[in-house]
Amino acid sequence: MAPYEALYARRCRSPIGSFEVGEAGLIGPDLVHQTMEKMKVIQERLKLAQNRQKSYTNVRRRDLEFEVDDWVYLKVSPMKGVMRFCKKGKFSPRYIGPYKISNRVDIGIKDSLSYKEIPVQILDRQVCKLRTKEVASVKFLWRNQFVEEATWEAEEDMKKRYPHLFEPRNIPD
């Protein structure tokens, strides 16, 4: 049932007006009262549907309990975008770790459940020649990622952020 039909108990005739030709619309407190009653009915039905769906979901869930000195993996996935089955690459869901559970909470994960990706190594370097200039790019291997998922980044930006990686012994020939 369309929302319009739920509120007004009839189908909408046109996008311009919802009233029949020659029909006088309700005016004043009667219209407000009827609308409020219909909204209550709709809210009750939505609440029933939510409770029913919640009961289906809660059957499959189980609480996990960990103790100090257990090893765990954390599942991370992108915040934006559509998740697809067997998607591979930089933005695919993955498990990071293992992390050992300890009494202190100092593993680098923030309250927002995000973590900072840190470059580990420079794998390759290339220079793209455009019409009027040359752009240098560097291929970085990131922590908690495989070599296949390394990304090309602008060299000058990365030199500003991570100058220690550009020491002569770290750059491939």
Query: Where do the structural domains in the chain lie, given as residue ranges?
Result: 3-19+26-60, 63-115, 117-173
pLDDT at 35: 84
Question: Hey, what CATH topology would domain 117-173 get?
Answer: OB fold (Dihydrolipoamide Acetyltransferase, E2P) (2.40.50)
HSE of 41, CA atoms in CB hemisphere, 13 A: 11
| Terminal Cα distance for the chain, rounded | 67
pLDDT at 15: 56
Q: How does pLDDT run along the chain (173 residues), one tens digit per residue?
A: 677 777 777 777 655 545 555 555 556 777 788 888 888 999 999 999 999 988 888 777 778 888 888 888 887 766 555 455 445 566 666 777 788 887 655 555 666 666 678 888 889 999 989 899 998 999 988 887 778 888 888 898 888 888 888 877 655 55
pLDDT at 127: 92
Residue among 171, 121, 163, 159 nearest 142 (CA)? 121
- pTM here? 0.37
d(Cα 155, Cα 158) in Å, to the nearest integer? 5
pLDDT at 57: 80
pLDDT at 25: 57
Helix (H, G, I), strand (E, B) or coil at 72: strand
pLDDT at 45: 93
**Helix and strand tally (H, E) in the chain?**
3, 5
3-state secondary structure 86-140: CCCCCCCCEEEEEEECCCCCCCCCCCCCCCCCCEEEEEEEEEEECCCCEEEEEEE
